[in-house]
């Protein structure tokens, strides 16, 4: 009974009603997403366009120029070089004889006068050589005296033989023998005279060698270096060994290395100024006195220093010289009464090629290309910001400032560069740059 009451048979629905009762299908979801992305993209492009227009990011046609005014001032064109201080006179005082240094009478930094005794070398050998030479000279002089006595006796014999022969009491042979004896002894005396001269030269040489053991200063100067100390033995057989080095410091010579690119611009008599590393704020004036005709590297040229140089060695020297920098020495003197400048001190030297005072000047970066007539092109900006091209005559140019001799007036503005795109953007409205994305 319970089953009969609870159980209900399913209702029968017709196909037409089932179709009508079914809910309607919703539209496709992917089609709605594409529309949303398209709207977002359009909004983003509109925002970027607005911000770009607002901040001037696409305003490339109005990029401002960087300008500089035409002013008056001083301009100088100079060649920069490095120099080295050396004493006006620098002498290596050496020994001409060999031996041990028995005494050294100076110390480093001493100021000495000419002919002052600097050092002494053991003179035993030289003294003995002098005594030997003097003894040899005395011996030869004694031989001459002996020959002179023999000559006097031979002359007396000749007179007697001539008298006897005139009286026809003697033979002609005895007379001829007496004459030959006189001539022989006279020739012997002449030979002895030559030996005496040679012996006197030997004595003078020995005396000079003895004097060389006392080394004296060849000039007034300051002892800059002591090369050999007391007690050392020096050998002068092949070269003169240096004992001390003297220099005259009252006047210093500055040897300036001028590159081969600049030496053609430099002339003797041009003004020079320099500074030193220890006092860069002080400027010292001088005048260029000379330019050496060849670089110092000429001393290492094999074709000059060796007569047996071959073509291969010459070619290698040429290639070596061309691959290294070439410098010519410019020389000028500097007074140094207080010894302020020291030997081998460095100097930064400026050789002045030209100076212009109270001239019209512009930055060298404003100059354009050089024309065939020597003029340069510059761009001039007027008060309205309009540019015009103008040819100017340039005088001195040190690559920082250029002297204008014609073509510009004081106060005009010339273009020295173009403002960058970033500068133009940031200067448009003073606002911050727009965001690069969302």
CATH number, position 350: 2.40.30.170
Query: Rounded distance, CA 434 to CA 436, Å?
Result: 6
pLDDT in tens, 247-298: 999 999 999 999 999 999 999 999 999 999 999 999 999 999 999 999 988 8
Q: What is the pTM of this model?
A: 0.65
The answer to whether residues 332 and 420 belong to one domain is yes
In a domain, residue 415? The reply is: yes
Residue 427 has pLDDT above 80, yes or no: no
Mark 150-181 as b/e (b = at least 16 C-beta within 10 Å). bbeebeebbeebeeebeeeebeeeebeebeeb
The answer to whether residues 367 and 288 belong to one domain is yes
Tell me, what's the pLDDT at 223?
95
The answer to whether residues 364 and 288 belong to one domain is yes
Whether residue 99 contacts residue 125, with contact meaning beta carbons closer than 8 Å, is answered with yes
Query: Rounded distance, CA 63 to CA 50, Å?
Result: 20
Mean pLDDT of 182-187: 92
Whether residue 423 contacts residue 65, with contact meaning beta carbons closer than 8 Å, is answered with no
DSSP 401: E
The answer to whether residues 58 and 71 belong to one domain is no
In a domain, residue 398? The reply is: yes
Number of domains in the chain: 3
Between 44 and 330, the more confident residue is 330
The answer to whether residues 208 and 287 belong to one domain is no
Local confidence band at 74 (pLDDT 50, 70, 90 cut-offs): very high
The answer to whether residues 172 and 203 belong to one domain is yes
Q: Helix H segments across 167-296?
A: 172-212
The answer to whether residues 46 and 78 belong to one domain is no
Tell me, what's the pLDDT at 211?
93
Residue 357 has pLDDT above 90, yes or no: yes
Residue indicated by tokens 């540019």: 387
Structural domain that includes position 164: 123-212
The answer to whether residues 46 and 183 belong to one domain is no
Identify which of 396, 354, 369, 416 has the alpha carbon closest to the alpha carbon of residue 70: 416
In a domain, residue 405? The reply is: yes
Give me the chain's average pLDDT, please.
Answer: 82
What's the sign of the alpha-carbon dihedral 174, 178, 183, 185?
positive
Local confidence band at 113 (pLDDT 50, 70, 90 cut-offs): very high
- Residue 297, both tokens: 């590297």
The answer to whether residues 414 and 358 belong to one domain is yes
The answer to whether residues 276 and 358 belong to one domain is yes
The answer to whether residues 423 and 292 belong to one domain is yes
The answer to whether residues 257 and 374 belong to one domain is yes
Identify which of 139, 19, 43, 48 has the alpha carbon closest to the alpha carbon of residue 435: 48
pLDDT in tens, 367-384: 998 899 999 999 999 988
Residue 149 has pLDDT above 80, yes or no: yes
Mark 258-279 as b/e (b = at least 16 C-beta within 10 Å). beeebbeebeeebbbebbbeee
In a domain, residue 381? The reply is: yes
């Amino acid at each position: 009974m319970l089953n009969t009451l609870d159980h209900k048979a399913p209702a029968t629905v017709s196909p037409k009603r089932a179709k009508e009762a079914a809910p309607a299908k919703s539209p496709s979801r992917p089609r709605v997403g594409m529309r949303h992305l398209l709207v977002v993209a359009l909004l983003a492009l509109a925002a970027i366009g607005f911000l770009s227009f607002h901040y001037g990011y696409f305003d490339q046609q109005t990029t401002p120029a960087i300008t500089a005014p035409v002013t008056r001032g001083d301009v100088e064109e100079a060649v920069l070089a490095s120099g080295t201080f050396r004493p006006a006179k620098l002498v290596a005082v050496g020994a001409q004889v060999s031996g041990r240094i028995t005494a050294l009478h100076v110390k480093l930094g001493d100021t000495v006068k000419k002919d002052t005794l600097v050092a002494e070398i053991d003179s035993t050998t030289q003294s003995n050589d002098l005594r030997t030479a003097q003894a040899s000279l005395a011996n030869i002089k004694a031989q001459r005296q002996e020959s002179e006595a023999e000559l006097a006796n031979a002359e007396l014999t000749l007179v007697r033989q001539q008298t006897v022969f005139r009286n026809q009491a003697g033979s002609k042979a005895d007379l001829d023998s007496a004459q030959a004896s006189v001539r022989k002894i006279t020739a012997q005396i002449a030979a002895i005279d030559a030996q005496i001269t040679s012996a006197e030269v030997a004595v003078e040489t020995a005396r000079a060698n003895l004097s060389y053991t006392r080394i004296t200063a060849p000039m007034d100067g300051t002892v800059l270096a002591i090369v050999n100390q007391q007690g050392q033995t020096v050998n002068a057989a092949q070269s003169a060994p240096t004992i001390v080095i003297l220099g005259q410091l009252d006047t210093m010579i500055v040897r300036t290395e001028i590159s081969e690119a600049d030496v053609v611009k430099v002339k003797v008599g041009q003004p020079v100024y320099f500074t030193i590393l220890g006092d860069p704020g002080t400027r010292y004036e001088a005048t260029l006195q000379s330019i050496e005709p060849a670089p110092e590297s000429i001393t290492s040229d094999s074709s000059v220093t060796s007569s047996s140089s071959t073509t291969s060695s010459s070619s290698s020297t040429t290639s070596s010289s061309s691959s290294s920098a070439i410098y010519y020495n410019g020389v000028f003197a500097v007074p140094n009464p207080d010894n302020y400048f020291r030997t081998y001190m460095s100097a930064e030297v400026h050789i002045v090629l030209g100076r212009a005072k109270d001239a019209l000047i512009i930055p060298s970066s404003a100059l354009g290309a050089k024309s065939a007539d020597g003029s340069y092109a510059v761009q001039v900006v007027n008060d309205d910001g309009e540019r015009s091209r103008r040819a100017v005559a340039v005088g001195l140019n040190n690559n920082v400032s250029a002297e204008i001799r014609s073509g510009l007036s004081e106060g005009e503005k010339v273009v020295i560069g173009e403002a960058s795109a970033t500068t133009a953007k940031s200067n448009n409205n003073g606002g911050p740059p727009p965001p690069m994305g969302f």
